Amino acid sequence: MSIAIKGAQILSMDPENRAKPFTADILIEDDRIAAIGPDLDLSGAQTVIDGTDKLVMPGLVNSHMHSNEALYKGRYDNMPLEVWMLYAYPILGAPVLSPRLVYLRTALCAMESLKSGTTCVTDDVYESPYQTPEQLDALFQAYDDVGLRATISGHVVNRPFLDTIPFSRDFVPAEVQAQADAGTPMAAEDWLAICKDALTRLHGKSGRLNFMLAPSAPQRCTVELMQAAMEMAEAHDVPFHTHILETKVQAVTGHEFYGETLIAYMHRHGLLKKRTTIAHSIWVTDADIELMGDAGCSLAHNVISNQKLGAGVAPVRRLLEAGVNVGLGSDGISTSDTTRMFPVMHAAGLIHNVQTPDTDYWLSAEDVIRAGTLGGAGTACLGDQTGSIEVGKKADMLVLDMTTLPFTPLNDIANHVVYCEDGRSITHAIVNGEIMAQDGRCLRVNEAELLAELREEMPAFLAAHEETEAMNRAFEAAFWQVHRKANGRDVGVHRMGQEPAWT
């Protein structure tokens, strides 16, 4: 199988050209980029794409997504994380989903991702009360069928829920606490056995699908589980993916539970490494930033989700300067309501400008595109495989039509990509050397049939979910109190991430 793109503008993100476009041909053979250059011999290519007025750029990488939230798309608004979680990650009575519904839910996210320019995604999947091997198989199958590159987890929490949030036992009524404590969290050995099985059976499937170790967070998992997960991630060279310091409540959590910041806790237990990817890291101290930089770990910057939950804004420039690799994520499909990554890039390009008047801390279009491509690949331990257009790398790329509204009139291409484009200009999405979407259509699956089947499943699902919501409403008043109490504390973090040193 070979594909040629003739005479396109290429925004390669390679070390030499970065976000400076140049005109050339591209030859793709099997799953890889075989050649890039002017006037290549393309006569042997089976498919030739005319590059006139076309931009070719690396496929976008979504560094942090939870497809399990997709059935709640557009359902919730104006709740902070700790309150919203009661409904999207219920403590009590969540219905166990059939593998088929998991498949449809995942296909929904994969199709929207692909059509809007994402070629590689990290999907950190939590199922209630825990993920079965059949559900995990369904996830892999959906990504395989739609044609994305994906790194998939079974997200785990193994501490009793009320012990993962400070002050919760001060506010939750005793009889409601008893109900929450009645469910037993998953045993570490059971989860590790499922991960080992997934690494043997599913990891590497179709040359596009990988498994990763994703303990939820240092306050939600025991340190023994996290250390065993890190050991397994190292043995199989896969990412160790977790959540740290998304909200002010979590900044207070470190001090309340461990007498130190959650980043310091990770460092002390040997969990801060290059393969560690941290979702959020908004409420980091100066010392935390230094520890993260020294480890060379990664950040998944979820700039839209963080706004929806009012979580805050990560100090991205400071983390980059410290040596942290930065990728962009949509986060879950309930806190972002979409998988689309062009809006995430747009938001990332804007939000740091209101953190501080010091323009040294703002991100450029090139910074944003790098985070949305190559930086993202690094968060999935795939930096040498994808994220840029370079000979020898996997052929994961987008072709965009530059005669569309977002690119007309054409000025600076990198600025158009970040500030004007919304995904509508994509003509081809190529993953692993195969055209997976073209002219707004996924080529390997029947989107209309899958969506119709999902719509049919929804009334029964929502009826069950409404009962679950009613049960979990018993915690809501207490969690608002937790939110207010924690937000009243001073945790020694600059709210804006950086105060200018001007006098």
Sites of contact with Zn ion (CB under 5 A): 279
CB of 247 closer than 8 Å to CB of 309: yes
Q: Which is nearer to Zn ion, 98 or 307 (CB)?
A: 307
Q: 151, 147, 145: which is closest to 209 by C-alpha?
A: 151
3-state secondary structure of 27: strand
CB of 474 closer than 8 Å to CB of 167: no
Q: Which is nearer to Zn ion, 214 or 442 (CB)?
A: 214
Minimum distance from residue 275 beta carbon to Zn ion (Å): 18
Query: Which residue matches tokens 């892999």?
Result: 140
**Phi, psi at residue 79, to the nearest 5°?**
-130, 140
In angstroms, the CA 415 to CA 382 distance is 26
How crowded is the C-beta side of 203, counted as CA atoms within 13 Å?
18
Q: What is the DSSP string of 367-436?
A: HHHHIIIIIHHHHTT-TTTSSS--TTSB--EEEEETTSGGGSS---HHHIIIII--STTEEEEEETTEEE
Q: Which is nearer to Zn ion, 25 or 246 (CB)?
A: 246
Minimum distance from residue 67 beta carbon to Zn ion (Å): 11
CA distances to 81, 259, 307, 372, 377 from 342, rounded to whole Å, are 24, 40, 16, 9, 16
Q: Which is nearer to Zn ion, 279 or 381 (CB)?
A: 279
- The rounded radius of gyration (Å) of the Cα atoms in the chain is 22
Q: Which is nearer to Zn ion, 25 or 123 (CB)?
A: 123
Chain-centre distance of CA 171, in angstroms? 32
Angle between helices 188-201 and 223-236 (to 10 degrees): 10
Q: Which two tokens stand for residue 372?
A: 């949305």
Q: Which is nearer to Zn ion, 5 or 279 (CB)?
A: 279
Q: Which is nearer to Zn ion, 172 or 279 (CB)?
A: 279
Q: Which is nearer to Zn ion, 306 or 388 (CB)?
A: 306
Beta partners for residue 213, in sequence order:
240
Minimum distance from residue 31 beta carbon to Zn ion (Å): 29
Q: Which is nearer to Zn ion, 244 or 279 (CB)?
A: 279
Alpha helices (H) in 4-94, listed in sequence order = 81-88
Minimum distance from residue 463 beta carbon to Zn ion (Å): 27
In angstroms, the CA 482 to CA 480 distance is 5
Name the pairing type of β-strands 434-438 and 441-442: antiparallel
Minimum distance from residue 279 beta carbon to Zn ion (Å): 5
How crowded is the C-beta side of 46, counted as CA atoms within 13 Å?
8
Q: Which is nearer to Zn ion, 372 or 433 (CB)?
A: 372
Q: Which is nearer to Zn ion, 6 or 241 (CB)?
A: 241
Q: What is the DSSP string of 288-340?
A: HHHHHHHHT-EEEE-HHHHHHTT-----HHHHHHHT-EEEE----TTTSS---
Minimum distance from residue 81 beta carbon to Zn ion (Å): 10
Q: In the complex, which residue's CB is closest to Zn ion?
A: 279
CA distances to 29, 57, 395, 422, 475 from 3, rounded to whole Å, are 7, 15, 10, 26, 56
Minimum distance from residue 333 beta carbon to Zn ion (Å): 11
Minimum distance from residue 423 beta carbon to Zn ion (Å): 22
Minimum distance from residue 278 beta carbon to Zn ion (Å): 10
Minimum distance from residue 206 beta carbon to Zn ion (Å): 25
Q: Which is nearer to Zn ion, 281 or 325 (CB)?
A: 281
Minimum distance from residue 124 beta carbon to Zn ion (Å): 6
Q: 88, 107, 200: which is closest to 155 by C-alpha?
A: 88
Chain-centre distance of CA 189, in angstroms? 26
Minimum distance from residue 211 beta carbon to Zn ion (Å): 17
